[in-house]
Amino acid sequence: MIGTIITVLVGGVIIGLLGKFLAPGSRDNIPFWLVVVCGIVGMLVGGWIYYAIFGVAGNVAGNPNYDMWNTSKGIDWWRHLWQVGVAAIAVVVAAGVTGKTKA
């Protein structure tokens, strides 16, 4: 349980910062805690969307849904790209909702 919480927090920070880096222009001027929230949203929603489209929860040879054309072996980089993309969208939405402008 504690391992899952730590994984989600660390992953949220990494995915959120990558999403903030990809956000266009001044739309990324949000507080750090909101970046982490956007990263966690990106992890959960991006992973869910990826699974819904490709139907693969991990591309390993023992997986009955193993398909070499949908994902990579080992680390699932395509899933992480989807997560970062969703986090970038979440950062833009969060910046629009908070209305914080650069000073």
The Cα 76–Cα 28 span in angstroms is 27
Among 2, 37, 1, smallest CA distance to 17 is for 37
pLDDT at position 69 is: 47
Q: What confidence category does residue 25 fall into, taking pLDDT thresholds of 50, 70 and 90?
A: low
Indicate the residue type of 49: I
In a domain, 85, yes or no: yes
Tell me the pLDDT tens digit for each residue of 55-74. 655 555 555 555 544 455 56
Tell me the whole-structure pTM to 2 decimals.
0.73
- The reply to whether 21 falls in a domain is no
102: tokens are 């650069």
3-state helix, strand, coil in the chain (%, to 5): 70, 0, 30
Domain-embedded: residue 18: no
Range of the domain at 72: 34-96
Number of domains in the chain: 1
Mean pLDDT of 88-102: 79
